[in-house]
């Protein structure tokens, strides 16, 4: 499952960048950029089987961002994301790793401009294979919603500050030693900052 997700993510990323660049090149050359993101927040994970259990968590987010800014000013980004989840009743942190595909829509032409964004992600809950009957790390699909401000003090440098909501629907699982399927979902909100270099 994990290898399949990585293959799909790679194909989506390459296809998207190629199509967006070709669509925009007739008018003006798109601008590619590379960035780093860090953030903090919190949320919860719900396990729904015979009973429903909700676990609160604090989150720390980091990501490597590859993006393209089109002639319209809109951006498409592929982010390689790692989220550390500190559950209240756990003795060790958990890690969600994934690839996000996000559209961002800025408003205006000023140095400081607001934006809204949305996207999807493919995620893996690392080191969970030994907990489930199928002996694979848990995988899921994320919905991303975000908003914030973009600040460009220099032609090649841009900063971003915002808030991101992320909801992850995990695959149905069957814990080891149980005959009951469990539906699992995670929701979180993170405040983040990002620095990007435009080529």
In the predicted model, what is the mean pLDDT of residues 60-81? 97
pLDDT interval class at 174 (50, 70, 90): confident
The answer to whether 41 touches 5, Cβ cutoff 8 Å, is no
What are the tens digits of pLDDT across the range 20-51? Answer: 545 444 456 899 999 999 999 999 999 999 89
Reference 58, options 198, 194, 199, 186; nearest CA is 186
Q: Residue 140: how many CB atoms within 10 A of its CB?
A: 20
**Amino acid 136: pLDDT:** 85
**Topology (CATH) of 2-198:** Porin (2.40.160)
**Amino acid 15: pLDDT:** 56
130 pLDDT higher than 90:
no
Distance CA 159, CA 194 (A): 6
Q: Dihedral angle at the C-alpha atoms of 121, 126, 131, 133, nearest 10 degrees?
A: 50
Tokens 């209240």 correspond to 88
- Higher-confidence position of 11 and 171: 171
**Strand (E) positions, 49-199?**
52-69, 75-87, 94-106, 112-125, 138-154, 157-170, 183-198
**Amino acid 91: pLDDT:** 86
- DSSP strand pairing (157-170 vs 183-198): antiparallel
Enter the DSSP assignment of 171: P
Q: Which residues pair with 138 in a beta bridge?
A: 125
Helix (H) or strand (E) holding 80: strand 75-87
What are the tens digits of pLDDT across the range 55-68? Answer: 999 999 999 999 99
What is the percent of the chain with per-residue pLDDT over 70, rounded to a whole number?
Answer: 85
**Amino acid 5: pLDDT:** 55
- Higher-confidence position of 109 and 96: 96
Please state the domain extents for the chain. 2-198
Mapped onto helix, strand or coil, the DSSP state of residue 130 is helix
Rounded alpha-carbon distances, angstroms, from residue 180 to 46, 119, 145? 15, 32, 32
Q: Which residues pair with 98 in a beta bridge?
A: 81, 123
**Amino acid 89: pLDDT:** 83
**Amino acid 26: pLDDT:** 44
């Amino acid at each position: 499952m994990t290898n399949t997700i990585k293959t799909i993510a790679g194909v989506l990323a390459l296809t998207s960048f190629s199509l967006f660049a070709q669509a925009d090149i007739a008018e003006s050359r798109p601008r590619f950029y590379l960035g780093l993101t860090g953030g903090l927040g919190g949320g919860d994970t719900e396990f729904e089987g015979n009973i429903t259990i909700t676990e609160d968590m604090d989150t720390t987010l980091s990501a490597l961002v590859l993006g393209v800014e089109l002639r319209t000013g809109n951006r498409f980004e592929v982010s390689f994301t790692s989220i550390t989840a500190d559950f209240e009743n756990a003795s060790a942190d958990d890690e969600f790793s994934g690839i996000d595909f996000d559209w961002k829509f800025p408003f205006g032409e000023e140095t400081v401009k607001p934006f809204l964004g949305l996207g999807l992600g493919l995620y893996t809950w690392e080191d969970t294979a030994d907990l489930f009957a199928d002996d694979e790390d848990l995988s899921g699909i994320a919905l991303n919603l975000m908003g914030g401000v973009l600040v460009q003090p220099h032609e090649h440098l841009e900063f971003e500050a915002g808030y991101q909501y992320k909801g992850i629907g995990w695959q149905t699982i069957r814990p080891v030693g149980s005959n009951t399927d469990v539906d699992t979902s995670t929701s979180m909100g993170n405040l983040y900052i990002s620095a990007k270099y435009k080529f």
